[in-house]
Amino acid sequence: MDREERRQMRKERERKRYRNYVKLEIRMFRWTLVAFCLIGILLPLRPKKSNIEKRDLEKFPAVTLSGIMKGDFFADVSTWYADTFPFREKLLTANAAVERLYGLGKEQLYGSVGKADDIPTEYTETESGPASGVSDDVLSDQDAAVAQGDEGDGTVHVMPESAGTIYIADDRAFELYYFALDSANQYIKMINNAAQLLQGKATVYDIPVPTSIGIYLDQDIQDSLGCSDQSQAFDYVLDNLDDSVRGVRVFDTLAEHNSEYLYFRTDHHWTADGAYYAYQQFCQAKGIIPKSKDDHQIQEFDGFVGSFYSFGDQAAVLAENPDVITAYIPQSTNDMMYVGADGIEMDWQVIADVSEYDDGNKYSCFIGGDNPYSVIENPLLQDGSSCLVIKESYGNAFVPFLVDHYQTVHVVDYRYYQGNVPQFVAENGVQDVIFLNNADALSEGAVGYMQGLFQ
């Protein structure tokens, strides 16, 4: 056998080995697909809720003839299959980790794109719709250099890294805020209408609460991102409320204490310490003496990684710097009752032990989370005093401080409660109606929900 024949035989062996290798790859890929398909059809393994994304996952669609004929049914099945795939969250977390290894810190935008409205100095009716999101100009300018400063307070002077409408600076995340004039005007009308309907029956308090970006992030950086000044937005609202409404200004107080732990780093809520300063301002407006934080029993829950981590592409810097939740138990009672979305009454605790809860759900230690209706009875008071708090989740950390001041504290979450507030006030002898909502109540569909409570 000459040299050429040996060379040809060697090439043939190499080609055969390569073909066998390719066939093995194909078989492994096919069996991997089969394994994933088998896992996917194991219904008991399919999750129903995402702890990372804080939402219920898609349900299997109803089978209808029209849906089958139009093809909607099969599209919905595909969506359900992908959304509830077994081990979905672990796969998402692994994917995010792999992307970080490759430096794929991609930008993600959550919510509609738009620009903030100008904040007027005087009350003006407008027909403009609510705007939120990030303008193209903001996204293109986000890498601009911003000088760092040291002003001896808690202000962040670092240009944040973008993750959509959530921005991360150092180990802290922020959600951008955009003022919407039309929504702010609707909010003013809603509060004034509530005061008119409750005139002679109850005193209306309005406590607009800034989000963390307004308190912690340097104003020059906020301006460079196209964000609105929440202080100016609140001044516009509070200055145009009816004289019968007691507006409670908390922005300046929180800003003065921004070196303190007033907002979570990994979550959009404020801490109980932030809520305490608002409680102090409310007590001043009402003419009562606030309790000291030292008068409360304190509980702490560590390892909290909240919504900013969920919606900020699972940024590693947030997971590596979890929050600690500090909660203050009222002196008078820690017992309460709430009515869930299913209409079932549950006995619960004002401050519940959430030590064993998932890392993303520990904010629900405050009044059992977001429920249509809750009530707390103070056994140490028999003076008939009562209040009604109209809130979203920011109110959860605020309500416990009210318990020692009223015989009865009623709480409704305007997103879920279906009743009529004037009727509720009349039937339950409520003396104070307290609106407490964060800045997004002025720029989202929240106003419509609250209006529904007075119709």
* pLDDT recorded at residue 169: 83
Tell how many helices (H) and how many strands (E) occur in the chain: 15, 15
Is 111 a domain residue? no
97 & 171 share domain: no
* pLDDT recorded at residue 354: 96
Contact criterion met (CB below 8 Å) for 176 and 134: yes
Contact criterion met (CB below 8 Å) for 85 and 40: yes
Is 110 a domain residue? no
* pLDDT recorded at residue 60: 78
351 & 251 share domain: yes
pLDDT in single tens digits along all 455 residues of the chain: 567 777 777 777 778 887 888 788 888 888 877 776 666 666 566 777 666 555 567 777 888 887 787 778 878 777 877 777 676 656 655 555 544 444 434 333 233 334 788 989 888 775 444 333 333 333 333 333 333 334 445 555 444 333 337 888 878 999 999 999 999 999 999 999 999 999 999 999 999 999 999 999 998 888 888 899 999 999 999 999 999 999 999 999 999 999 999 999 999 999 999 999 999 999 999 999 999 999 999 999 999 999 888 876 778 888 899 999 999 999 999 999 999 988 999 999 999 999 999 999 999 999 999 999 999 999 999 999 999 999 999 999 999 999 999 999 999 999 999 999 999 999 999 999 999 999 988 866 789 999 999 98
Contact criterion met (CB below 8 Å) for 46 and 83: no
Distance of CA 56 to the CA centre of its chain: 15
Is 298 a domain residue? yes
195 & 94 share domain: no
76 & 181 share domain: no
Query: What is the amino acid identity at position 183?
Result: S
Q: What is the largest CA-CA distance in the chain?
A: 113
Query: What is the amino acid identity at position 428?
Result: N
- Distance in angstroms (rounded) separating the CA atoms of residues 278 and 262: 11
Q: Pick the last residue of a domain from 101, 118, 151.
A: 101
Kindly list the distances between the CA atom of residue 141 and the CA atoms of 138, 230, 362, 381, in Å, as whole numbers in the listed order.
Answer: 5, 22, 36, 57
Confidence (pTM): 0.75
- Distance in angstroms (rounded) separating the CA atoms of residues 373 and 369: 11
Q: Pick the last residue of a domain from 101, 136, 152.
A: 101
Q: Which domain holds residue 93?
A: 3-101
Contact criterion met (CB below 8 Å) for 211 and 175: yes
Is 315 a domain residue? yes
Query: What is the amino acid identity at position 200?
Result: G
293 & 380 share domain: yes
Is 116 a domain residue? no
- Distance in angstroms (rounded) separating the CA atoms of residues 353 and 357: 9
CB contact set of 305 (below 8 Å; sequence gap of 6+):
266, 267, 318, 319, 322, 323, 359, 360
307 & 434 share domain: yes
Is 156 a domain residue? no
Is 46 a domain residue? yes
As for how many domains the chain has, the answer is 2
Q: Pick the last residue of a domain from 59, 82, 101.
A: 101
- Distance in angstroms (rounded) separating the CA atoms of residues 452 and 415: 10
48 & 177 share domain: no
Is 82 a domain residue? yes
